[in-house]
Structure formats: structure tokens, C-alpha cells
A = this chain, B = another copy of it.
């Protein structure tokens, strides 16, 4: 355990001068900021700064740099691998009040937002302009946090992840200096790709305060469908063929029977309690019809049931809300339990083997753990529903988690497709990338944050 850094009086006074009553020391606020949405223990900061501008973040970072005070950036608090835990104490910078949408350029399909804007907020703002931003982790996360964890979600199979959809960033560095990375051009070969370096760096290299994002026109036609299968293998095999055929499906989501049961109970629905695929097709009316027909043929070959269609927006919203609530639905499966979500991503050809083996491991360990997945990308999640007081259960979950990660890495995949490393997966980083590559990450961290102040204890394992 690290020593926890407390804020000295001089730093406190200077911070109050900037923030006034937006510097909060209360236990409740600090505890709420020391934990994301998962099983990782609460590690509260010493205080929380509710910032309102890049200039404020810069001034605060300058002070913290001077006083060697650790800083943890905080968006909506929906991260899953202990990203916001203040393992070294210090200050939490909460960016949720930086909620301004600064510009929308409909002609160029891009926009500029402050880091605290959430994905639902931006899409609500864009809807009347016929535009949308596709990245949708289940939670209503902040866009700054989504960039920091390289988030993706259900649309990534068609639209990519935060990696692909952030055009540029405003970032406050550990010494308080401000940089702007990227630009509004669709592509550039001008220098090192600092945007992509910051995306996925989980607040360990800089604090993202603004984002330039790529937008998309809302497709002329959208159609969603649900289809259940007799067994998990058939469902996943159908997905593999759909992806390999190159049909440009916008969303392909798998929910296993355990998850469907949870969704039915939580969202008061009555889907069959069977492995189920959720689809969405985007395009022109003719294009959507063609995609649906191609997918329908493949599904039939794998014994999938008839599509249940949802073409009206209201029905589609209900369907996808059920999918996005999957995590909360799962936690509801057992009372007084917590969710321990984990995810891996593998080459699509290995998906079936990997999911089936994982399901077997879960069942052998007698754990309650639905599997859901953004299977079009080869990405799937296990949601362990665990009693944190039950040491056996926690160890079993850790064991299955490790086995699943080892298997994914063995297949050329990754220990996390979209949740990030945080604290929870640091131990797998070297296994995935090797000592030399992690040493390069450490050199970059030391070069940009020589005092180790930014989100200490995350991503890069200590030597």
C-alpha cells in the first residue's frame, strides 16, 4: 500500500482561492469519488475539486505539481477496473461540471465538447440536426472518461471505438501546461500521434478537458432484430460467419441464457431464456433490407429462430435499453452482491472456443455470471455477480478471470477489449505485451509525468 498524500495547508489555501466552495472535503463526496461501478474497494481522495474550465484544471495541476500532490481525474464514475481509486490519496478532479457543447460543425461531421459531456447528452443535442455520436458503453459515461479508457460499445463493429472517433484533444499535462492534439482534418501525417497516445492512457499522462469528435449522419433507415438460438455455439458460429462475410451490420450483440433471464426480470420483458443475438442494421432502406436478408440466411443455417423485428424508434429504444441495462440487470440476480465485470477480445475465429470454454469454467466454479458480448468485434464480457465478503467466491471469480484472460492472450487477443487496465488488469499487461513493450510504456509515463502524480497506481505496473 502506498503512502497516502494529504493536502497541506498551503495547497488547500491556494486551491480554495481558485475553487471556493467547489473544493469538497466531505467524507460522502470523497467516498463516492473513490470507486467506479464494480467490485474494487473504495479508495477516497482527500478532497474533490469540481472544475469548470481547462484554465482551472491547468492552475490546479500547477499547484499540485509544485506540492507533489497526486491527482485522479474523474468523469461520471462509471469505470470498471478501479480507475478512479485514489490509491495515493491526494486530489480528485471531477470534470462533470465541464458540460458545455462548444461547437457542432454539421458540414464536417465533427463537434467540440468539454470532457464532462456524457454520451446521452451529446446525442440528445445532436438528434434534431440528424447527427449522432456512435460510441455507447452501457453506462452514460462522460466523453472525457470514454476517451481515457478507449471505450467502445455496441456500435464499434461498424463505427470503431474512441480510438477511431476522437479527432483531437485538449489535455492538461502534469505540470499544468496545456496541449491541443490532432485537429479537424480527417487524417494527418504531421508528427507523433499524441491523440491516440492520450486515448486509453486512463488519466496517467494528462487530464483530458476537451474533445473534438467525429460525428455521423443518422442513417436513413435503421432496423433492429432479436433472434434466439438453441445453444451458445450456434449463436457464436453464426456471428463469426456474418463478420467473415463482411456484411456491414451496425450492432451484433450476444446475450447468453443467464443474461436473458436477468434482462427479462429487470426490464419486465419476456424473451426466450436462450442464447440470443441482438442486431441493428443501418443504411438506405434497400441496404438495410439487403443486410437483413443476408444475415437471415446465415442465421437460418445455424438454427436461429425467426427475427423479432423492431423498426419503430420506440421499440428499438426499448430493445437497446434492455441491452444497455444488462449490467444492472445482472447485479439484481443476487441480493447484497456486487458486479465484477471483466472483458476480453479475441480474433473472431477464436470467439466460439473462447466463449464456450469460459462458460464451462464459470459453470464448473458454480458462479453466477452472465456472458454478454459485442461479438462482432470478438469482444465479450463476463459479469461475475459476487458477494465481496465471501472469500471463496472472490477467489473462484479471480481464477476464472485469469483463465479467460490467459486464453484470450494465447489466441493473440487482449486482456481487455474496452474496460481498460486500471488497477484490476495491471497484472496482465506484461503477459499481453511483453516486458520490453511495457518498459516503453513506463519510459513514456516517466517522460511525461516524472513525479508520478497523475492517477498513480494505474495501467503501467511498477518495476
Q: This chain: how many copies in the complex?
A: 2
Contact at B196–A433, with CB atoms within 8 Å? no
**Are A414 and B200 closer than 8 Å at their CB atoms?**
no
Residues on B with C-beta less than 8 A from A459 are 191-192
Determine if B414 and A188 form an interchain contact, defined as CB atoms under 8 angstroms apart. Answer: yes
Check if B377 sits within 8 Å of A186, measured CB to CB.
Answer: yes
Q: Judging by beta carbons under 8 Å apart, are B378 and A436 in contact?
A: no
A442→B219 CA distance, assembly (Å): 42
CB distance from A136 to the nearest CB of B (A): 14
- Contact across chains for A185 and B244 when beta carbons are under 8 A apart: no
Q: Answer yes or no: A316 CB below 8 A from chain B CBs.
A: no
Q: Is the CB of B107 within 8 A of A349?
A: yes
Contact call B163/A107, Cβ cutoff below 8 A: no
Which of A179, A186, A412 counts the most chain B CB atoms within 10 A?
Answer: A186
Q: Which residue of B lies closest to A240 (CB)?
A: B107
- A463 in contact (CB, < 8 A): no
Q: Decide: A180 near B413, CB < 8 A? Known: A190-B429, A191-B441, A194-B441.
A: no
Kindly state the interface size class of chain A when it binds its partner: 35 or more
A347 at the interface (CB under 8 A from B): yes
Residues of A102-161 whose CB lies within 8 A of B: 105, 107-110, 149-152, 156, 160-161
**How many angstroms between the C-alpha atoms of A287 and B290 in the bound complex?**
9
| Chain B CB within 8 A of A432 CB | yes
CB-based contact B200/A149 at 8 Å: no
> Which residues of the partner chain B approach A217 to less than 8 Å between Cβ atoms?
244-246
* A151 partner residues in chain B, CB cutoff 8 A: 189
**Are B448 and A189 in contact, CB atoms less than 8 angstroms apart?**
no
Question: In the complex, what's the smallest C-beta–C-beta distance from A218 to chain B, in angstroms?
Answer: 9
For A412, what are the chain B residues with a Cβ–Cβ distance below 8 Å? 183-185
Report the stretch among A59-67, A296-304, A416-424 that lies at the interface.
Answer: A416-424
State whether A444 and B441 are in contact (beta carbons under 8 Å apart), knowing that A184-B412, A287-B290, A436-B177 are contacts in the complex.
no
Q: Indicate if A28 sits at the interface (CB-CB under 8 A).
A: no
Verify B416–A189 contact, CB threshold 8 A: yes
Interchain CB contact under 8 A, A109 and B413? no
A90 CB, nearest partner CB in chain B, Å: 22
Q: What are 7 residue pairs bridging A and B, where the CB atoms are less than 8 Å apart in the complex?
A: A185-B378, A185-B412, A186-B377, A186-B378, A192-B460, A194-B440, A217-B245
Given contacts A186-B348, A191-B421, A196-B197, 19 further A-B contacts (CB under 8 A): A109-B244, A149-B189, A150-B189, A152-B187, A173-B436, A179-B436, A183-B413, A183-B414, A184-B413, A185-B414, A187-B377, A191-B438, A191-B459, A193-B193, A193-B197, A286-B287, A287-B287, A443-B448, A444-B447
